[in-house]
Structure 1
Amino acid sequence: MNDTVGGRLRGRVALVTGGTRGVGAGIARALVEAGAEVLVCARRPPEVPLPGVEFRAVDLRDRTAVFDFVGGLPRLDVLVNNVGGSPYRPLGEGDVERHARVVELNLITPLTVSLAAYEHLKRARGSVVMIGSVSGSRPSPGTAAYGAAKAGLEHLARSMAVEWAPDVRVNTLVVGMVRTELSHLHYGGSDGLDAVARTVPAGRLADPADIGAAAVFLASDDAAYISGASLLMHGGGERPAFLDAATANKGGG
């Protein structure tokens, strides 16, 4: 067990949406290490076993199924709205319905699950952790609908934190680039991953365990006075392109 998180959430029940791989699986593992009873829900089970994690098959876009599943839980203390994602699709190359589905998955689904969980969380004086993205605060060519949805998710969390206070805390982890089992689809092989990592001040992409540790913190009593906050997890951000351009022009002539 990781001593930095061990026991922080002992006796609590946590639900991670879409927690079967990548960032979601990293969060689920961290919650287990912190002592929580952890459920993950998605359409398909994890390909790699997650020890100590219970899987439930739920189509999170089916609002009736979401309310039936969440409402049927005996208890819920922590909700991590992790489900989301988007294929690369320039705005002009997809019809409106395809872009709308991206917004639905990344914004409407977390809202739906949060509403379904509210009574549980209120009784438990629990916590919601939204998994946001730096794409919500910067141009996102090729994933514009995703970026717009993540911007909306962060705003939703702030409003929810006010409306549901003091019973439920709501915060957002604003996540940058993460090295997962699917990273090669976005950045290429090891050379591409290394090149992308060099653009991050921290010198590497995040690991799912990094995101998991932060989620544990926000869900725990250590963050009891933190609500409506957005925690940046991007390794220092991105080196501004103009600096590289300026450096390249030095020594000219």
Structure 2
Amino acid sequence: MPTRRTSGRARRSTLGVPAMVYLAAAGLLLAAALALTFLKDDPRSAASVASTPNAAPTAPRAEPPDEAPQGAAAPRLLGEGGGEVLAPEQVARRAPARSASGGGGELFLSVPKLELESVPVPSGSTQQQLDREGILRMAGTGLPSESGSNTFIVGHTLGYQGTKLPYAFYELDKLRPGDTITLEDAAGATYRYRVFDEVTVRPEDYWVTMPDREGRTVVSLQSCVPIPEFDKRLVIQAELVKG
């Protein structure tokens, strides 16, 4: 029986169609597999999180901590303000007498050991005020009529030309336990204190202006030491014994 011979051109045409179909299908499958792989590995895809066992939830974005206000400064104890201070021999230390009207301060300070008698003590909080007056009750600290208060009084060790009361606390270091300090308010009430403590601190140790931890009603007298550095603060404390 004779064999029918098929031409090479017809045979190639017949065999090429299935091959092209197979190749196209394989290409589609490969593209689908690549797409699934991309979606699975993409961290932005919800499907990748859902398909990953024990996937940890994304942590929330941490907010930056609040910053301290610009220019804010911790309070410091006042002292010799700088510039050319007086020398002990330039001006004889003298406590001014209280005026008959009671003006010049809301409190009047007497310290027999320092030869201070009824010295007017105004209130203030700035170095300029202290340099001008020579003595100040720190505004915001206690008053002798307030139980458990700390009446905090700052005085210059030396002072400056123009200071109303130079050398106010020049001899503050002479006070000893048992010495007497007296305050009188504008209403005429008298408060007598007895010295019980002495401490030397840094200018930044503002805690010495706070009320006494044991609840005592106290007065604190502060000056600058040593001469001429003035880099420390001497604080004498006395407790109210009669009010």
TM-score of the superposed pair, with normalisation by structure 2: 0.26
Say which structure, 1 or 2, has more relative contact order (CA 8 Å, 6+ apart).
1
Structure with more strand by fraction: 2
TM-score of the superposed pair, with normalisation by structure 1: 0.25
